[in-house]
Amino acid sequence: MTDLQPGFSRIDGDELRRRIAAAHAGEGEIAFLDLRERGPFHHAQILFSVNLPLSRLELEVARLVPRRSTPVVLTDGGEAVRLAARGAARLLELGYTDVAVLKGGLRAWQAAGGETFSGNNVPSKAFGEFVAENYHTPMMSADSVAAALEADRDLVILDSRPYDEFHRMSIPGGVNVPGAELLYRVRAMAPDPRTTVVVNCAGRTRSIIGAQSLVNAGIPNPVAALENGTMGWQLAGHGLAQGATAVGGAPDAAALAAAQADAARVAARFGAAAIDRGTIAAWTAEAGNRTLYLLDVRTAEEFAAGTWPGARHAPGGQLVQATDEYLATRGARIVLIDGEEVRAPMTAAWLRQLGFADTFWLAGGLAAADAVPPQPEPGPLDFREVETVSAHEAKAVLDSGEAAALIDLADSRSFERGHIPGAWWGVRARLVEGLVRMPAIGFLILTSPDAVLAHYGARDLMAARPDLIVRVLAGGTPAWTEAGLPLETGMPAAFCEPDDHWPRPYESPESAREAMQAYLDWEFGLTEQLRRDGMAPFAKV
């Protein structure tokens, strides 16, 4: 990546606020990207910024910001490394035409009194707390649920997380029904209206949104969110199950008809309108002038069996829980697709409340005749391979005793779990600067888990250090193990701080209780931060 100064503009915090507000009001689009690594971003960020590390810019920007003429604003921490300026130069090289940089980055925003947030998926998490506060979502404590189970009360626990999270740890006796599936499947799980339905997740957001979805839909059963999810359950001293496999079943014809009627009422209440196939075709033709996200909100298995042409997979519960991982362009058109007119309208209603005003759903759902095989996710931009070496050739070079080294651009956790013996670790965005921390070398081999990132890093180095011989390990690190060569663990050598991730509460067993309580306290505090910040478009309807 270069440090050239191309013709991008610079804006201040007031202009950024104006542009975000305009997008929320339906007056244009904006994609606001923070190019720092995930660790620094997690500790302090501006609301509605989307984390896309400069190291991975070419790999992910086409998915997050599909239209090249979208107005893009970039920020960093305001440090001398100038990530935003470097990213702006690269985006212009990639064909993006309207690129700006936030003057002074995060530091200038803070110095001007701007609110900063910590954490992940902040807009969605803050919205969950807004919903709980404004709609008084019913909740049951862990002790109350445990007592009900002990007394064999008529109660069902529906876990609204993706299956892999549920399978790893869950409330004993719980059934996996991910967020957008709740209204679709709840009558199959609790056909008796006297059965209490308890919705849980790991913390609060998906429990709150899931329970409030059922309340909004008006199902006849008593409904509650499990207060503070599996974290609250553990903090109350109750044990979790591991390896659970129970999943919610599909509704029968009567239950489906009831769910469809409920979903239509919820969508109408929050202004989420249905559109027909002709409108999707017209908007697809206009996608060069107005961003269009086509998202299939069904399960992964349904999506893989066939989807709408050009649609990407975004399971509805996770889409609401993590809008920043799917929708970087605010003010875009969003069309949600399902097969039965339940999951799409329910998800659309939530996105409308989250500030995505132009969110719609496909009337009639996806018919079998419309379905096509899923297209691959948008690939990396401007990808060009450099010269490679095989695993055994790389080993021979490294064993030769000459001035050679290998750098692994895997994420730091993957590197610690297993890497080529003697490898150095670092992030791509600091690759050129990191060489000064390494012994003098004349031959450098780069690797990464997919080899793709290594090719980008090699091109960066070849442009900055033409004196070096640079090669990429063909096939990446998996090719090394496939050749029967060993790996080592740990972090013996790094040319920069391993700040490319943030630890989740359950990833620190020795301090899990403290980490879980700190996480819940963070969630509780988000609504007050929203009031101080003033940018969120959330409103009670």
pLDDT digits (tens, 9 = 90+) for 333-374: 999 999 999 999 999 999 999 999 999 999 999 998 899 999
Q: E strand or H helix at 29, and its extent?
A: none
pLDDT value for 507: 65
- Is the residue at 468 inside a domain? yes
- Is the residue at 226 inside a domain? yes
| 319 has a pLDDT exceeding 60 | yes
Residues 147 and 242 in one domain: yes
CATH number assigned to the domain comprising residue 158: 3.40.250.10
250, 282, 316 — which closes off a domain? 250
- Is the CB of residue 454 less than 8 Å from the CB of residue 523? no
- Is the residue at 365 inside a domain? yes
Angle at 409 (CA atoms; ends 406, 410), nearest 5 degrees: 120
Residues 243 and 136 in one domain: yes
Residues 159 and 246 in one domain: yes
Average pLDDT over every residue of 14-35: 97
- Is the residue at 263 inside a domain? no
Instruction: Write out the residue range of the structural domain in which residue 41 sits.
Output: 9-118
| 482 has a pLDDT exceeding 70 | yes
Average pLDDT over every residue of 267-289: 97
Of 262, 288, 274, give the one whose Cα is nearest residue 335. Answer: 274
pLDDT value for 503: 77
Residues 95 and 192 in one domain: no
Residues 166 and 71 in one domain: no
Residues 320 and 421 in one domain: no
- Is the residue at 292 inside a domain? yes
Q: How confident is the model at residue 504 (pLDDT cuts 50, 70, 90)?
A: confident
Could you give the number of structural domains in the chain?
Answer: 4
482, 507, 527 — which closes off a domain? 482
| 1 has a pLDDT exceeding 70 | no
- Say what percent of the chain tops pLDDT 90: 92
- Is the residue at 265 inside a domain? no
Report the distance separating Cα 316 and Cα 397, nearest Å: 49
| 270 has a pLDDT exceeding 90 | yes
Residues 234 and 307 in one domain: no
Q: Considering Cα of 315, then 321, then 325, then 329, what sign does the dihedral take?
A: positive
pLDDT, the chain, mean: 95
118, 151, 183 — which closes off a domain? 118
Residues 164 and 66 in one domain: no
Angle at 232 (CA atoms; ends 226, 237), nearest 5 degrees: 120
**Better pLDDT: 80 or 255:** 255
Residues 17 and 93 in one domain: yes
Residues 18 and 91 in one domain: yes
Residues 111 and 146 in one domain: no
Of 470, 468, 475, 352, give the one whose Cα is nearest residue 420. Answer: 475
- Is the residue at 519 inside a domain? no
Residues 146 and 200 in one domain: yes
481: left (phi over 0), alpha (psi -120 to 50) or beta: alpha
- Is the residue at 261 inside a domain? no
